[in-house]
Amino acid sequence: MFNPNESSRSSTVRISNNFDKEIVLINDYRDFDIKKVPLYDALVLDFTEREECKKTLRSIRKSNIESIYLLPIFILSIVDVKDAEVKELSDGIVQTIQPESLSAFIDGVKRKRKQLKPFTVNPEINRHLIKTLRFAFTRDRVLNPIKDRNSIIGYTYPILSLSLEEEQAKSEINAIEEALDKEFFQPEFVDRMHLCGNCYGGFLNYKETDPVSGSANLVTESLVHHFSCAYIGPQSDFIRGDQMVCPKCNKTLRHIGVDYDKPSVMYRSLDNDNYFQEPEMKAECMNCGLQNEIEGLVQYDVFNLTLTDKGIQEAIQPKGSQSSKEIVYNGYITYSTFGTYLKFEIERIKTANLPSCIGLIRLNITSQTEGILGARYDRLIEEISEFIVTNTDSANILARSINSFFILFPNSPIDKSEKKLKRLADSVNTLLNNNVKDVKIDVVSNHKELTQTSEYQSVLNDLRASILTS
């Protein structure tokens, strides 16, 4: 058994053990080098310097390199660790280092890691979700959401949110919904959130507002009903000195229940002296400032997530984020069907020797931009999709993959296809500039001439690569 009190304060201390394991204790985080992490079998992080410990833990789990983010990490602390994120990202809190128990856990993770198959990152693979699945699989653990005031949702799954460039609510929600749709996780209900319809923020200020001005500067006042003349008005209309006098019949009101009653209350806006009985409820987003209608809030259920057999298989051998039944967008054929059409078009060129061309238009939307757009993102993509369908010839064949739009121009010379593609890309760019003012979205395009020596998969790969590097 290793006692930390007996160790020196060197930056790293190798824990001696009889299991031929490279287990290292990090005492001093100033010299920590993440590039050395793959050399170890496990790390033990001293929790004495709490912020540095947490920063190091986050940097390891944030990596997209499996030999780094899947490394067993334990937290050494003689006091109770209450930080929920540290508990979720680590593999356990220990008061003393016992190599025997650590070795058993390390061997278990290694056995699981040996089952993992390599995969190629492409648009059909949600690599953040795959990383989350593999972390859960190698640990055989339930993923628990934690309450996090730094997340605009209010909850986060630490291993997933760290994988994103920045904590983006929509990206995280989409990844979880995708996993649940594909039955990768068995959900256990934890909480129900209501989120901003624009940015998916969970920090909302619910308030009663003036239906005319929208002001929340309101006071309530009792309505007074005078029995004898049936006049009804706000109580302030009846106040004369220290008495209550009906403004309609000038009679003095002395006893409630005998002369008058108070059947309801009125609201009054102090900004414009407007009286009303039914205020409008608003939910102001503390992140983006949108005044949400209550019925416009997005319902989001938070779950504990347990891997299913399907989730285990996806973790071991990722098949991609596309479901077995591809989505068919209006005016488009599926991407796999488009590949078949392209193959047939190349075969036709070989026999008929006619010109043909393929084009690609892509919207370069980063995860940060997607987060800013919020709920507008899906509407924007659908509008662009419809615009492209409307502005292409019926002879053209269209397919869509995320933010990329493929266009096959049969029997079209390269110069003619190039002009059509450029005109369409410029129109899409103009449409975006006129309708999206708060973010900049680049529209990129390219084309490839189809020849008798073309190979359909190479054409698609080259076209994608040219767009991504342009």
CATH at 100: 3.40.50
Domain boundary residue, one of 54, 85, 115: 115
Give the range among 14-23, 66-75, 129-138, 174-183 with minimum mean pLDDT: 174-183
- Tokens representing 13 are 């201390």
Task: Give domain status of residue 76, yes or no.
Answer: yes
Tell me: the pLDDT tens digits for 352-406?
A: 888 899 999 988 877 667 767 776 777 888 889 889 999 988 889 999 877 889 9
Task: Tell me which amino acid residue 72 is.
Answer: P
pLDDT at site 323: 43
Give me the number of domains the chain comprises: 4
pLDDT at 235 over 50: yes
Instruction: Answer whether residue 327 is part of any domain.
Output: no
Rounded CA gap, 40 and 22, in Å?
Answer: 5
Name the E strands within 29-113.
42-46, 73-76, 93-94
CATH (domain of 390)? 3.30.70.270
pLDDT > 90? residue 73: yes
Whether 100 and 228 map to the same domain: the answer is no
- Rounded to whole angstroms, the Cα distance separating 342 from 357 reads 10
**What pLDDT, on a 0 to 100 scale, did the predictor assign at position 453?**
84
**What is the phi/psi pair of residue 27, to 5°?**
-100, -40
pLDDT of residue 83: 94
Q: DSSP secondary structure string, 169-231?
A: HHHHHHHHHHHHHTT-EEEEEEEEEEE-TTT----EEEEEE-TTT----EEEEEEEEETTT--
Relative orientation angle of helices 335-352 and 456-469, to the nearest 10 degrees = 120
Are the C-beta atoms of residues 39 and 18 closer than 8 Å to each other?
A: no
The letter for the amino acid at 311 is G
Q: Residues 200, 316: one domain?
A: yes
Is residue 142 scored above 80 in pLDDT?
A: yes
188 & 224 share domain? no
Say whether both 295 and 237 belong to one domain. no
Q: Of 258, 224, 228, nearest to 244 (Cα)? A: 224
Residue that is last in its domain, among 67, 95, 115: 115
Cα gap 29→49, rounded to integer Å: 8
Question: 95 pLDDT band (50/70/90 cuts)?
Answer: very high
Residue 49 lies in a domain: yes
pLDDT at residue 419 is higher than 70? yes
- Structural domain contains residue 232: yes
Q: What is the mean pLDDT of the chain?
A: 86
Cβ burial of 289 (10 Å; 0-12, 13-18, 19+) is exposed
CB 90 within 8 A of CB 81: no
Q: Phi/psi at 441 (nearest 5 deg)?
A: -115, 120
Same domain? For 110 and 138 the reply is no
Look at residue 61 in the predicted model and tell me its pLDDT: 95
Same domain for 142 and 274? no
Place of tokens 């009889």: 18
Instruction: State whether 238 and 91 are in the same domain.
Output: no
The pLDDT tens digits for 290-328 are: 889 888 888 888 999 999 998 999 999 888 644 444 556
Res. 121 pLDDT band, cuts 50 70 90 = low
| Distance (Å, whole) CA 374 – CA 296 | 14
pLDDT of residue 335: 76
Residue 330: inside a domain: no
- 307 lies in the same domain as 395: no
Between residues 362 and 6, the one the model is more confident about: 362
For the segment 161-202, what is each residue's pLDDT rounded down to a tens digit? 887 765 467 778 888 888 888 889 999 999 989 998 888 889
Task: Check whether residue 453 and residue 349 sit in a common domain.
Answer: yes
Identify the pLDDT of residue 245: 92
* Residues whose CB is less than 8 angstroms from the CB of residue 403 and which lie 6 or more positions away in sequence, other chains included: 362, 363, 364, 365, 381
Asked whether 129 and 173 are in contact (CB, 8 A), the reply is: no
Q: Where are the alpha helices (DSSP H) in 353-413?
A: 367-373, 376-390
As a dihedral over the C-alpha atoms of residue 193, residue 199, residue 205, residue 208, rounded to 10 degrees, the angle is -100
Q: Confidence band (pLDDT; 50, 70, 90) for 407?
A: very high
- The residues facing 205 across adjacent strands are 284
In this structure, what token pair is assigned to residue 214? 């929208």
- The CA distance from 215 to 248, in Å, is 31
- Verify that 238 and 367 share a domain, yes or no: no
Strands 232-234 and 298-307: unpaired
Distance from C-alpha of 129 to C-alpha of 418, rounded to nearest angstrom: 37
The per-type count for the chain, helices as H runs and strands as E runs, is: 13, 24
130 and 90 fall within a common domain: no
Is 394 part of a structural domain of the chain? yes
Phi first, then psi, for residue 141 (nearest 5°) are -130, 160
Q: Is 328 a member of any domain?
A: no
pLDDT of residue 328: 63
40-49, 233-242, 368-377: which has the minimum mean pLDDT?
368-377
| Contact of 196 with 374, CB cutoff 8 Å | yes
Residue 152 pLDDT greater than 80, yes or no: yes
Residue with tokens 């290793």: 2
Band of residue 8 on the pLDDT scale cut at 50, 70, 90: very low
Single residue among 290, 322, 354 that ends a domain in this structure: 322
Q: Does one domain contain both 185 and 232?
A: no
Predicted confidence at residue 461, as pLDDT, reads: 72
Q: Per-residue confidence at 122, pLDDT binned at 50, 70, 90?
A: low
| pLDDT for res 7 | 44
pLDDT of 2 above 80 = no
pLDDT of residue 376: 76
Choice among 83-97, 134-148, 249-263, 456-470 with the minimum mean pLDDT: 456-470
Full residue range of the structural domain in which residue 13 is found: 4-115
